[in-house]
């Protein structure tokens, strides 16, 4: 087991899911409750990583990070290094790539909140913010947790984008999925298996928790 890769992956996944919550909740609120006609356009952008091959995102990020692009040049001028091959670069890529996995369940949760409650709150003069914070978020907490966990799990399972913009640096961008790939390429099936099995078990347990949680909520709902 490559502990360095494990620690790195855990760090990347938890930072990513933390950012995803900060970014994802407002996005989900807007997607769930906005009535704008062109909403579907923005909704589709958020959902893009669900259908795009990681190579598309990887390719554009690599080009954007490079010193040929205005963005890459500005970033290099300010920080003195490029975003490619760094933890920050990987973090940015992961947030973009895992966004729909966090946002979609949260949107479903928000939409499932009883409209009558919201209408009642509105007639009693509650502000939008108050309705969101005191009614929607508390009622939708299982979907928030699902979004958080899925964002985390999807980042752990990220491979293609990391391969394209990471540069495989030990301790910086060599995540567990890359480590497994390297082990397999070098025919170290034993150590590949150790890591792969650990990931498999971890993912299964994580999903069990989500489904159990949703089942419970469903049961409460019928009671």
Partner 1 sequence: MFVPKTALLALALVLGASAQELKIAAAADLSAVMQKIGPAFEKQTGVHPSFSFGSSGNFFAEIRNGAPFDVFLSADRSYAETLDGAGLTDQGSKVYARGKLVAWTRNGSAVQLSPDNLKFLTSSAVNKVAIANPEHAPYGRAAVAAMVHFKVYDQVKPKLVLGENISQTAQFAQSGNADVGMIALALALSDALQKSGHYVLVPLDSYPPLEQSGVVLRASKNKQAAHRFLDFLYSPAAQKLLHDYGFETPQR
DSSP assignments along 58-125, one per residue: HHHHHHHHSTTSHHHHHHHHHHSS-STTSHHHHHHHHHHHHHHHHHHHHHHHHHHS-HHHHHHHHHTT
Cα–Cα distances (Å) from 2 to 31, 76, 134, 175, 195, in that order, read 40, 31, 44, 9, 8
Contact 96, 165 (CB under 8 A): no
State in angstroms the smallest separation of the CB of 9 from partner 1.
Answer: 17
Nearer to partner 1, 189 or 211 (CB): 189
Contact 99, 20 (CB under 8 A): yes
- Nearest 5 degrees, angle CA 178-CA 179-CA 182? 85
Nearer to partner 1, 57 or 118 (CB): 57
Binding site residues, partner 1, CB under 8 A: 62-63, 65-69, 72, 81-82, 84-85, 163-164, 167-169, 182, 184-187
State in angstroms the smallest separation of the CB of 72 from partner 1.
Answer: 7
Instruction: State CA 139 to chain mean position distance.
Output: 22
Q: Taking the CB of residue 115, how many other CB atoms lie within 10 A of it?
A: 9
State in angstroms the smallest separation of the CB of 159 from partner 1.
Answer: 12
Nearer to partner 1, 14 or 168 (CB): 168
H/E run at residue 149: helix 141-156
State how far the Cα of 195 lies from the Cα of 212, in Å rounded to an integer: 26
State in angstroms the smallest separation of the CB of 168 from partner 1.
Answer: 4
Nearer to partner 1, 69 or 108 (CB): 69
Nearer to partner 1, 50 or 71 (CB): 71
State in angstroms the smallest separation of the CB of 12 from partner 1.
Answer: 17
State in angstroms the smallest separation of the CB of 64 from partner 1.
Answer: 9
State in angstroms the smallest separation of the CB of 116 from partner 1.
Answer: 54
Nearer to partner 1, 66 or 157 (CB): 66
Contact 28, 105 (CB under 8 A): no
Nearer to partner 1, 53 or 138 (CB): 53
Please tell me the total number of residues recorded for the chain in this structure: 223
């Amino acid at each position: 087991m490559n502990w360095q890769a494990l620690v790195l992956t855990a760090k990347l996944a938890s930072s990513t899911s933390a950012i995803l919550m900060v970014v994802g909740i407002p996005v989900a609120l807007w997607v769930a409750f906005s009535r704008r006609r062109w909403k579907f356009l923005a909704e589709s952008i958020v959902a893009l990583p669900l259908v795009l091959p990681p190579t598309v995102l990887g390719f554009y990020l690599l080009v954007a990070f490079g010193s040929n692009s205005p963005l890459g040049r500005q970033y290099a001028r300010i920080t003195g290094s490029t975003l490619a091959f760094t933890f920050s670069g990987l973090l940015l890529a992961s947030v973009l790539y895992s966004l729909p996995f966090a946002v979609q369940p949260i949107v479903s949760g928000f939409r499932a909140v009883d409209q009558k409650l919201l209408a009642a709150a509105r007639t009693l003069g509650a502000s939008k913010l108050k309705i969101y914070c005191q009614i929607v978020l508390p009622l939708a907490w299982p979907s928030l947790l699902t979004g958080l966990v899925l964002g985390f799990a999807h980042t752990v399972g990220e491979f293609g984008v990391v391969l394209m913009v990471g540069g495989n640096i030990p301790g910086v961008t060599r995540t567990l999925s890359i480590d497994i790939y390297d082990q397999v390429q070098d025919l170290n099936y034993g150590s590949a298996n150790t890591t792969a099995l650990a990931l498999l078990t971890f993912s299964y347990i994580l999903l069990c928790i989500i489904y159990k949680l949703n089942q419970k909520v469903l049961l409460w709902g019928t009671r």
